[in-house]
Amino acid sequence: MCLTSYEQYTNKTRATNDNINEQKIIIMDRQNLFQKLQPKYKDALLKNKKEYPEVIDAIVSRLENAYYWGDLSISEISTLDTFADCESYKWGSWTWQYGEGIIAQDDK
């Protein structure tokens, strides 16, 4: 059976849309860094919101829009450390590189 150009296009479009829908489901299942943030650091951030609302809103927004620790700049990590009382002077190289102990790690 020979398909017309329109039928071929329709089949390709359906396959592409199905693939996009599958990708959306995967992305929706992923947690952002704010969701992964350890509760004690999240609580400290929100506690500081009364005194520093603009800074806290900015860092929370950044964390909500990032999915990987590596997406954050050193400046953003420093701001998180300052306002979430993370005590970076105790951090090892794994914390600086991967957020170990600050965010919940993926099980992968």
Give residue-wise pLDDT tens across range 40-89.
999 999 999 999 999 999 999 999 999 999 999 999 999 999 999 888 88
- pLDDT at position 3, please? 63
Q: Is pLDDT larger for residue 102 or for residue 108?
A: 102
For residues 55 and 29, which has the higher predicted lDDT (pLDDT)? 55
Q: Determine whether 90 is exposed, middle or buried from the number of CB atoms within 10 Å of its CB (0-12, 13-18, 19+).
A: exposed
6-28 mean pLDDT: 66
The confidence band for 108, taking pLDDT boundaries of 50, 70 and 90, is: very low
Give the model confidence (pLDDT) of 14-24 as tens digits: 766 666 666 65
Asked if residue 88 lies in contact with residue 94, where contact means CB atoms within 8 angstroms, the answer is: no
**Where in the chain are the domains?**
1-30, 32-108
Within 10 angstroms of residue 98's Cβ, the number of other Cβ atoms is 14
Q: Would you give the distance in Å from CA 54 to the centre of its chain? A: 20
**3 state DSSP class of 92:** coil
